[in-house]
Amino acid sequence: MKHPGMINIVSDTSNEIFEWSERNFSKVKIVIEKYPAGKQQSAVIPILDLAQRQNNGWLNRSAIEKVSETLSMSFIRVMEVVSFYSMFNLEPVGKNFIQICRTTPCWLRGSNKLLDVVKEVTGCNLGETSEDKKFTLVEVECLGACCNSPMVQINDDYYEDLNEDNFRKVLLKLKNNENINKGSQSGRRGSSPEKN
């Protein structure tokens, strides 16, 4: 299956109608105000992001239509933006959206093994969502945290200095809805030198 952010087709299957929540709508207004009058289209990316967050991590047709209506843009113009950026998902995703970095530094530091772990724990292959809807697994290029490689991003947070053990723990905790620590899993602060 494909990365849900790299497809060009809007999912029509859900009949849910997207309406802005009150909180998000006030945010929408703040974002639009940042741009000169009549140039509200410039706000399309942050507004789509708000919509995606409100809609459990993906954009259905109704959400995209809402955004185009909010910004007085045509549907196809918004759709061009949505399909261009892989960060906008066009299919439902699991509660934890796992982006595993597979670029050279992480790979040298063992991202392959992490991939095996995550496949085993979640039961998904790349691009897939687990049956319990808890995980979606995709691979990405360098996320700019190579200094603490290997790393993965889960939803908005980075998890760094991973190895098979601590990564498995993280995933199991997520599976059991337990709290986990963000950032480095080896306990170091930032990228301070590792003791050995």
Partner 1 sequence: MPFITIDNQEIEFEDGMTVMQACELAGVEIPRFCYHDRLSIAGNCRMCLVEMDKSPKPIASCAMPATEGMKIKTNTDSIKRARKGIMEFLLINHPLDCPICDQGGECDLQDQALHYGLDRSRYEENKRAVKNKYMGPLVGTIMTRCIHCTRCVRFSTEIAGVDDLGLLGRGENAEITTYLEKAIESELSGNVIDLCPVGALTNKPYAFKARPWELNKTESVDIFDAMGSSIRIDTLGKKTLRVLPRLNEEINEEWISDKSRFAIDGLSKERIDIPYIKRNGKLISTEWDEVLNRITQEISKHGKENTLALSGKFTDIETLFATKYFVQSLGSNFFDCRYDNAQFIENQRSSYLFNSSIQEIDNAEVILLVGTNPRWEASVLNARIRKSYINNDCKIGLIGKKIDLTYEYSHLSDNIEHLNDLLNDRSPFSELLKNSKKSLMIIGNSAINFRDGKEVLNVCSEIAKKYNISTNNFNGFNVLQQDISKAGAIDIGFYNNDFAQNFDQKIKDHISKFNPVVFLLSCDEINHSILEGAFIVYLGHHGDVLAQLANVVLPTPAYTEKSSTYVNMEGRVLQTTRCYHPLGESKEEWKIFRSLSNNFSQKLRFNNLSELRNEISNLFPVFKEINNLPSSSKLDFGSATKIENRVLEYNIKNFYMTDVISRASITMANCSREILNKVA
* 101 scored as a contact of ligand FES (CB under 6 A): yes
Tell me which residues in 76-135 interact with partner 1 (CB under 8 A).
76-77, 79-80, 83-84
Please give the biggest Cα pair distance in the chain. Answer: 59
* 53 scored as a contact of partner 1 (CB under 8 A): no
With tokens 């496949």, the residue in question is: 119
Q: Both tokens of residue 191? A: 């990228």
With tokens 């047709």, the residue in question is: 61
Which of 51, 106, 118, 121 binds ligand FES (CB under 6 A)? It is 106
With tokens 């724990």, the residue in question is: 121
Question: Please, which residue, 7 or 180, has the CB nearer to partner 1?
Answer: 7
* 185 scored as a contact of ligand FES (CB under 6 A): no
**What single DSSP character describes residue 41?**
G
* 15 scored as a contact of partner 1 (CB under 8 A): no
Amino acid residing at 11: S
* 45 scored as a contact of partner 1 (CB under 8 A): no
Q: Both tokens of residue 141? A: 């290029």
Sites of contact with ligand FES (CB under 6 A): 101, 103, 105-106, 142-146, 149, 151
